[in-house]
Chain A
Amino acid sequence: MSSSTLVKKPISYNPGFLAWLAFIGLCLTIGIVSGIWVLSNGLIITNMSDNVPWGLWITIDLSAIALGAGAFTLSAIVYLFGIKRFQPIVRLAVFVGFIGYTAALLTLIMDIGRPDRFWHPWVYWNVHSVLWEITWCITLYLTIMVMEFAPVIAEARFFNRWPWVRSFAQVLHKFAPLFALLGLAVSLLHQSSLGATYGIVKSRPIWFKPSMPIMFILSAVAVGPALTMSIAIIVEWITGKKTIDQNILRTIARFSGFALLVYAYIKFWDLASSTYYAPTPAVASSLSMLNQMTPYTFGLWFIEIIIGIIIPVILFLVPQFNRKPANLVLGTACAVIGIIANRWNVTVTGLFVPLSYSPGTLYKLTPGFYSPSLIEWGVVIGILGYALLMLTLGIKYIPLFDNPEH
């Protein structure tokens, strides 16, 4: 039993930590108030409409899942490819993934019109639906992550009183490689299906392309591990305790940098084919409408590329930059902003272009408009508060950085 190493120490409530807790409490209060407001009044108090039925929440939903991708990427690296060097970060990665996925489910519950029927996809199956597959994969993957994580939670001092929990957790731990494998399969499926959610919609010309799922999964694989890496660095800054070997973190940064380059490569060809080589008339007119009549012009694509890809790639890959942890955190921040901006742009641009099903050639349609209401932001702040609370609790009470294998 390793409890001899766990020295009981008084919990310190320094002013900084109290302020942090107060901040989280404020976020959660805003979120809960907004959530109750939405549930009692209906989605009418959001700025979504029949023209733009999806908005900020679906963006946060997709981003949270993409940012949780570190869990399956790093688990696969350790358990599937057998690169045991990265073992120390897997726990943190799975924990961050768990937070991301639960945050996404929370947002989704707010977003659907009938939250009381959230369980329907599990009972009423439509195997042809991408969204059904995503719901199932997310649920399965959450279960897998809980199984993967149970042994870690069982190590907490709290469970000293029930030894059977520990022994059960050890049995679960035996299956860790299997969980990682299952998790990999399920993750590969749904991370790309999130892109397919848009990619299969033939009514929306600028979504309807086979590159959608590929771009979604590549960006998730690139940014997910980077986020885990940065959280490890930030935790080290705040607690002052050594968390994970700097070399491992740097290697993850390099991995993310290269993955971002692959993402950029696909994104470049996607751009070339949809604007230069093979734009269908519908795509061409949609893009010109976006350029002329909405703020979503070609310039935004450049911002997404520069902030979301080029800056992080430089910070992650150039040796003189990636030696400094601060640069890695900065790079991650840019990449995270990039991925959220990407999900937002994909969602709203596709919906802003009106459906031109009518044969009347001179029938002019105006583009849709959407900007999130305060209540929508309130819910998002609440979700952020939830993520930060989970992270804080996890770092304080779960042995995320202890590694029994060393």
Chain B
Amino acid sequence: MAKKKKAKAKLELSRRDILTIIAAGAGSVIAAQALTTGPLSPFSQLKQQAIEGEPTESRGHTTINHQWGMVIDLDKCIGCEYCLRTCTATNDVNPDKPWNIVVEEKSATGHTYYFSRPCLHCQHAPCVEVCPVKATFHRDDGLVVMDYDRCIGCRYCQVACPYDARKFNWQKNDYENPYIPTWGIAEVERRPRGVVEKCTFCIHRIDAGRKNGLVPGEDLDATPACVNICPVGARIFGDLKDENSRISQVIMENAVFTLREELGTLPSVFYIPPKEGV
């Protein structure tokens, strides 16, 4: 009789069976999440540090309340490409694929001006949304940064970035960098083959500077290289959340625009348009 019962059970799947399976499935998913990226993960501490940038401060009474941004004054820019050169030297970028581009453009009335573009560090960054492994993510201070050790090189972020700010390392980086040492020395490592890279707003300067009590945008050692070198002061860097910072003042006093506003990416880089016919 027991045999008969067993044979019957083989053919039918009771409601309890199904519920058990669903519960077991859901349970294992939750467990996997907790163990890999959740609170139980051995990596969680590391990850938290990477995202917050400066763990010591976030635990103290002062919480991070910054949002680093840049203003580029297209009216002042003379197209000297100093920013491109020092960026390429400081971050040891492939000179053929600069992070920071400078191009000559014409306005609707035929007036020539120069346009330059770092990574815009969008607050709603498409690259952050599409990355399958969170290799590119937002820090609490608004910067969009890359984890080169996590990137799998699928290039979806490159496809999704509306501003062409991302470059892929198609081969081993053994290029000559002609801008070193004239325009600066390499302050960060070259990226390995097979990952995507982009402008970081010189994150290494910001983090090191703030540890020493410097203010990015005011102290040169804590400010991106491209901002420091600009001979006409066309680039202004600082804290967008601080109303008294110079950058906030400039944004309030000028009619600024952002690139492709209609996409809703909320870039942290603002442009002052060129005045016509100067």
The minimal Cβ–Cβ distance linking A34 to chain B, given in whole angstroms, is 17
Known: A202-B263, A361-B106. A355 touches B162 (CB 8 A): yes
When distances are taken between beta carbons in the complex, the residues of chain A under 8 Å from B263 are 202-203
By secondary structure, the B interface counts as loop
When distances are taken between beta carbons in the complex, the residues of chain A under 8 Å from B11 are 174
Known: A125-B33, A360-B115, A363-B105. A178 touches B13 (CB 8 A): yes
When distances are taken between beta carbons in the complex, the residues of chain A under 8 Å from B150 are 117, 120, 124
Q: How far is the CA of A169 from the CA of B18 in the complex (A)?
A: 18
Contact partner, B132, options A49, A114, A129, A359, Cβ 8 Å:
A129
When distances are taken between beta carbons in the complex, the residues of chain B under 8 Å from A294 are none
Interface string of A358-371 (1 = CB under 8 A from B): 11111100000000
Q: How far is the CA of A355 from the CA of B165 in the complex (A)?
A: 11
Q: Which 9 A-B pairs have the closest CB atoms?
A: A113-B153, A360-B105, A113-B194, A203-B162, A44-B171, A132-B132, A131-B132, A53-B155, A44-B170
When distances are taken between beta carbons in the complex, the residues of chain A under 8 Å from B193 are 42, 113
Contact partner, A121, options B152, B164, B170, Cβ 8 Å:
B152
**Which residues of chain B have a CB within 8 Å of any CB of chain A?**
10-11, 13, 18, 21, 33, 36-37, 97, 103, 105-108, 110, 113, 115, 117, 126, 128-135, 150-156, 158-164, 166-172, 193-196, 257, 259-260, 263-264, 271, 273
Query: Which residues of A from 1 to 20 have beta carbons under 8 Å from B?
Result: none
The minimal Cβ–Cβ distance linking A163 to chain B, given in whole angstroms, is 16
Pairwise interchain contact A362-B106, C-beta atoms closer than 8 A: yes
Known: A124-B37, A357-B164. A113 touches B18 (CB 8 A): no
The minimal Cβ–Cβ distance linking A217 to chain B, given in whole angstroms, is 20
Given pairs A113-B154, A113-B194, 19 additional interface contacts (CB within 8 A):
A41-B171, A44-B171, A113-B193, A117-B152, A125-B134, A126-B131, A126-B134, A131-B132, A132-B132, A174-B13, A178-B18, A202-B264, A203-B260, A355-B162, A357-B162, A358-B105, A360-B106, A361-B108, A362-B106
Pairwise interchain contact A355-B132, C-beta atoms closer than 8 A: no
Does A392 reach chain B (CB closer than 8 Å)? no
Pairwise interchain contact A203-B129, C-beta atoms closer than 8 A: no
The residue in A112, A113, A170 that gathers the most chain B C-beta atoms within 10 A of its C-beta is A113
Q: From B196, which residue of chain A is reached at the shortest CB distance?
A: A113
The minimal Cβ–Cβ distance linking A139 to chain B, given in whole angstroms, is 12
Contact partner, B158, options A53, A114, A129, A178, Cβ 8 Å:
A53
When distances are taken between beta carbons in the complex, the residues of chain B under 8 Å from A125 are 33, 36-37, 134
The minimal Cβ–Cβ distance linking B200 to chain A, given in whole angstroms, is 18
Does A201 reach chain B (CB closer than 8 Å)? yes
Q: How far is the CA of A362 from the CA of B36 in the complex (A)?
A: 50
Q: How far is the CA of A197 from the CA of B37 in the complex (A)?
A: 24
Does A111 reach chain B (CB closer than 8 Å)? yes
Contact partner, A363, options B36, B106, B169, B259, Cβ 8 Å:
B106
15 contacts between A and B (CB under 8 A): A113-B153, A114-B195, A120-B150, A121-B152, A123-B36, A125-B134, A135-B132, A171-B10, A175-B21, A203-B161, A358-B105, A359-B105, A360-B115, A362-B105, A363-B106
Q: From A124, which residue of chain B is reached at the shortest CB distance?
A: B133
The minimal Cβ–Cβ distance linking B36 to chain A, given in whole angstroms, is 5
Pairwise interchain contact A357-B10, C-beta atoms closer than 8 A: no
Q: How far is the CA of A369 from the CA of B99 in the complex (A)?
A: 22
Q: How far is the CA of A57 from the CA of B126 in the complex (A)?
A: 23
Pairwise interchain contact B130-A53, C-beta atoms closer than 8 A: no
Pairwise interchain contact B13-A111, C-beta atoms closer than 8 A: no
Query: Which residues of A from 186 to 203 have beta carbons under 8 Å from B?
Result: 197, 200-203
Pairwise interchain contact B36-A358, C-beta atoms closer than 8 A: no
Pairwise interchain contact A126-B132, C-beta atoms closer than 8 A: yes
When distances are taken between beta carbons in the complex, the residues of chain A under 8 Å from B10 are 170-171, 174
Does A130 reach chain B (CB closer than 8 Å)? yes
The minimal Cβ–Cβ distance linking A394 to chain B, given in whole angstroms, is 26
When distances are taken between beta carbons in the complex, the residues of chain B under 8 Å from A171 are 10
Query: Which residues of A from 40 to 58 have beta carbons under 8 Å from B?
Result: 41-44, 48-50, 53-54
Q: From A347, which residue of chain B is reached at the shortest CB distance?
A: B159
Pairwise interchain contact A42-B106, C-beta atoms closer than 8 A: no
When distances are taken between beta carbons in the complex, the residues of chain A under 8 Å from B115 are 358-360, 363
The minimal Cβ–Cβ distance linking A84 to chain B, given in whole angstroms, is 14
Q: From A280, which residue of chain B is reached at the shortest CB distance?
A: B262
When distances are taken between beta carbons in the complex, the residues of chain A under 8 Å from B106 are 360-363
When distances are taken between beta carbons in the complex, the residues of chain A under 8 Å from B162 are 202-203, 355, 357
Pairwise interchain contact A53-B159, C-beta atoms closer than 8 A: yes
Known: A120-B133, A124-B37. A114 touches B152 (CB 8 A): yes
Pairwise interchain contact A129-B153, C-beta atoms closer than 8 A: no
Pairwise interchain contact A113-B169, C-beta atoms closer than 8 A: yes
Pairwise interchain contact B170-A351, C-beta atoms closer than 8 A: no
Pairwise interchain contact A114-B103, C-beta atoms closer than 8 A: no
The minimal Cβ–Cβ distance linking A75 to chain B, given in whole angstroms, is 16
Q: How far is the CA of A217 from the CA of B111 in the complex (A)?
A: 49
